Structure 1
C-alpha cells in the first residue's frame, strides 16, 4: 500500500501551522515537530516530503529564528500560503464565560486578543504554544481555565468554544512558506512570481544604497527587506529580500547582477508563484 506523503510543521496537532498544512496540502499528512530545527531535520532526513513554516504575521511581525535557520537549512522555498488567523476561546464542556478566570496560550496569541481578554476580565497565562495549551486545558478539566487556539484544536481535544474569533484585528494573517529538499523554480513564463534571496553587502560606505539601486532603475518591486545580525558581529548584517519577478527575466537579472557587485554573498532561496491572497490584496490596493 502506498504511504501518504507528509508535510512537517512546528507545534502540536491543532496548531495554526497544522491548519495551514491541511488547507494548502490536503493530500499530505501533517507531521508535528517540537521545534523549527526538528522541522528542518524531518525534511532533510526524508521523514517528510515538504515543510510548512510561518515567516511573518500581519500583527506580530516576523517569526523569530526563521531568518537564521532557513538560509543554512539546505532547503528551498517552493510556495507561499496565507492563513487568516482566527482565535477561539475554549474550555472544558462544563465551563462557561462566568466560570473561567484565565486564558492560556502562546504569547503572540495572547497579544493578538488583548482587548477582548480585558473586556472578559480574563487573566492571560503565557504558554509554549496554542494547541499545547488546548491539550493541557482538556487534560486538567478545570472549568476556571480556558485556552486560546484554533477551531481545529477545539475539535481535536474535545473542548467547548466559549467565544469565537476573539482576535482584536480581523486582518490578522500569517504568511507561511513551503519548503522542499530540492529547488523547484516556477517557469519564467508564469505571470506572477516571487523571488526570495539573502545577501550580505560589503562593509563599505553606502553599500546598501548602491546595492539596491539596480532594483529601482530596472523597475523591480521589492515587497520585503529585513536585516539581521550574522554570527554576533555588528559589522556582518544579512538581508532577507522578496521581490516580484523571475531571476531569468532580463530586468531582475540585471538588478541581481548589480546587487552582486556590492555584495559579499547572494543566495536565492526560492522562485515560486505569488499566492492568490497576495494578488487579491495587491488588486484591492490598486
Structure 2
C-alpha cells in the first residue's frame, strides 16, 4: 500500500517533483504551508515529509530552521534537486503570443534576463505550481507561467521555452523528515549528522564550543544561527557535520561542545546526498 509523503505547495511544485524522485511509488500529499506538512507527519497522516532547507541562489529557507528543531521529527535523508525553470502556456500558444508571465517572485527574479529580453510584464504569485494551474484554468494565450516541467505535465500546458533561469547552478537541498530516526547502515560510507545547540552565556563560548571539531578533524559543512522568540540575546545554532555520533572523533567533539552549551540535540543521522546526483527537474 502506498505511503503518503507530505510536501508544501500545490501539485506540480518543485517540492512535489522532489517527492516523486525520492518516493515514486508513494502518494504525494500537498500541504498549504510548511507547518501543515510538518503537522501531517507528526499526526501520522503522512509517513514522511520532504521539505526544502536551502537554495544555492535564494539561500536558507528560514521557516524550516525555526519549525524543524522543535517539531519532534527527525531528518532521515537529504536530496539535491537542480532547479530548471520553464516558460509554459496553454495548448497551442506560441512564445510570440506571450505578453505576461506569472510565477513566484523568487522564480521571476531568477529569470530576469529572459523576461527582459522578451519584454514580458510580470505577475507575482504565491508559487510556481499555482501559477501553472491558474494559467491552465484561465486559458489566456498571452499569459504564461514559469514553473517546472512536472507542473506542465500536471496541468496540461505546453512548454514554450526551456531552461530560462539566469544561473545554471540553481539547486535546492531537500530534507526527508520522519517521526522516528533511521540509522544508516554501516555500509553507507558518507553520513551526515545534523544537530542544534545554544551556547552558554560566557565569553568566547562559541569559539570554544567549535574548537573540538577542529582538533578532532570533524568537518562541519553548515553552521547557521537564528534568534529564538524574537530575542536579540537568545540564539540557537543549527549545524551539519560529516560523520556519525558514534565515531570517536565526533564523540570527542560533542563532549567538548556540550561543556559550553545549555541546549544540545541531534536532529538526524542520514546518508549524505550529492549535488552531482541531484535530479534535474525541467
TM-score normalised per structure 2: 0.95
Q: Judge conservation of contact 1:40–1:51 (CA < 8 Å) in 2.
A: yes
Which fold has the larger relative contact order, with Cα–Cα distance below 8 Å and residues 6 or more apart in sequence? 2
Q: What stretches of structure 1 of length at least 5 have no aligned partner?
A: 281-286
The answer (yes or no) to whether the contact 2:53–2:64 under 8 Å persists in 1 is yes
Task: Output the CA distance in 1 between the equivalents of 2:32 and 2:87.
Answer: 23
Check the 8 A contact 2:102/2:123 in 1, yes or no.
yes
SS in 2 for 1:90: strand
- Measured against aligned partners, the alpha-carbon deviations of 1:183-205 in whole angstroms (never above 9, x if no partner) come to 11224563211000111111222
After superposition, residues 159-178 of structure 1 pair within 5 angstroms as: 159-178=157-176
- Give the corresponding residue for 2:109: 111
Among residues 254, 262, 270, which one is paired with 1:272 in the alignment? 270
**Where do 5+ consecutive residues of structure 2 fail to align?**
none
Distance in 2, Cα, partners of 1:68 & 1:48: 21
1:46-70 Cα offsets, whole Å, 9 max, x none, are: 1111100000011111112110000
What residue number does 1:130 align with? 128
**TM-score normalised by length of structure 1:** 0.94
SS at match of 1:65: helix
Alignment of 1:87 with 2:85, yes or no, is: yes
The answer (yes or no) to whether the contact 2:136–2:157 under 8 Å persists in 1 is yes
Q: For 1:27, what is the secondary structure of its paired residue?
A: coil
197, 200, 212: which is aligned to 1:199? 197
Q: How large is the RMSD of aligned CA atoms in angstroms?
A: 1.4
Q: How does 1:9-20 map onto structure 2 within 5 Å?
A: 9-20=7-18
- Map of 1:190 onto structure 2: 188
Name the count of aligned residue pairs: 278
Q: Residue 5 of structure 2 aligns with which residue?
A: 7
Task: Tell me which residue corresponds to 2:29.
Answer: 31
> Structure 1 segments of 4 or more deviating over 2 A?
187-190, 276-280
Deviations 1:127-174 (A, max 9, x none): 111100000011111112110011111111111111001111111110
